A and B are shown apart, each in its own frame.
Chain A
Amino acid sequence: GENVEQHPSTLSVQEGDSAVIKCTYSDSASNYFPWYKQELGKRPQLIIDIRSNVGEKKDQRIAVTLNKTAKHFSLHITETQPEDSAVYFCAASVDTNAGKSTFGDGTTLTVKP
């Protein structure tokens, strides 16, 4: 089955700096890669996703890049703000069954004011 590894497990940055979280996956059949933000005690919320026919996608301060050959994808957050502090999860799945996802173990991002 699919295996997703996520690094780092914790990340602390100063407000205004950039944050990068990286994930690798094992199954070349995976073609849908969502990123979720989960605040303490809350449900995961989709913040951005990318499909394998695209190498990069951007939405305001967040962007995701995908390298299919190397089987890795990354989340980039620029101009970080304290409200970006949360746990971020990457996931990988086959597009036609997006919820049958394999998740990484999460990255706890802390943005210091």
Chain B
Amino acid sequence: NAGVTQTPKFRILKIGQSMTLQCTQDMNHNYMYWYRQDPGMGLKLIYYSVGAGITDKGEVPNGYNVSRSTTEDFPLRLELAAPSQTSVYFCASTTRGGAVAKNIQYFGAGTRLSVL
């Protein structure tokens, strides 16, 4: 049981390049999330998904796209990288929530992205 796995761990992009950050979980969680964390700041929600085929915008979605074709995978796409997207990206997953659910959020190890 690997939990939440993110690849790559590090990446340097040139301005205007594109890339996909991969995220996969093996816990059969319905809910998955992408956050970015800028230096000295908390996490900001980019996109989230409540199940396969369903995605929605979070707090800071501009410049990103996501898809959720399977329960396990939730890739994040950067189409035209900009220096403002330099950040650490965390993927997370949780079970469906509820008043008595133990819906702990599990985080991946993060992807450190620099756009130069």
Q: Which of A74-113 contact B (CB under 8 A)?
A: 89, 91, 94-106
- Beta-carbon contact of A99 and B33 below 8 Å: yes
- Beta-carbon contact of B105 and A100 below 8 Å: no
- Beta-carbon contact of B99 and A43 below 8 Å: no
- Beta-carbon contact of B90 and A97 below 8 Å: no
Of A4, A101, A104, A106, the most chain B CB neighbours within 10 A belong to A101
Distance to closest chain A CB from B68 (angstroms): 14
B86 at the interface (CB under 8 A from A): no
- Beta-carbon contact of A105 and B110 below 8 Å: no
- Beta-carbon contact of B97 and A43 below 8 Å: no
Task: Point out the residues of chain B lying under 8 angstroms from A42, CB to CB.
Answer: 109
Task: Point out the residues of chain B lying under 8 angstroms from A103, CB to CB.
Answer: 42-44
Task: Point out the residues of chain B lying under 8 angstroms from A4, CB to CB.
Answer: 42
Pick the residue among B42, B45, B98, B108 that contacts A100 (CB under 8 A). B45
**Residue on A with the closest CB to B42?**
A103
Main secondary structure of the interface of B (DSSP, over half): loop
Pick the residue among B41, B42, B103, B110 that contacts A98 (CB under 8 A). B103
Pick the residue among A34, A91, A99, A102 that contacts B59 (CB under 8 A). A102
- Binary CB contact string for chain B from 14 to 57 against chain A (1 if under 8 A, 0 otherwise): 00000000000000000111000000111111001010000000
Given known contacts A43-B110, A98-B94, A99-B33, is B105 in contact with A89 (CB within 8 Å)? no
A to B CB contacts below 8 Å, 23 in the list: A4-B42, A34-B105, A42-B109, A43-B109, A44-B90, A46-B104, A51-B99, A91-B42, A91-B43, A95-B99, A97-B50, A97-B97, A98-B31, A98-B97, A99-B31, A99-B48, A100-B33, A100-B45, A102-B45, A103-B42, A103-B43, A105-B41, A106-B40
User: Which residues of B line the A interface, CB within 8 A?
Assistant: 31-33, 40-45, 48, 50, 58-59, 90, 92-94, 96-99, 101, 103-105, 107-110
Question: Which 4 pairs, one residue from A and one from B, show the smallest C-beta to C-beta distance?
Answer: A103-B42, A96-B97, A43-B107, A99-B33
User: Which residues of A line the B interface, CB within 8 A?
Assistant: 1, 4, 6, 32, 34, 42-46, 49, 51, 53, 89, 91, 94-106
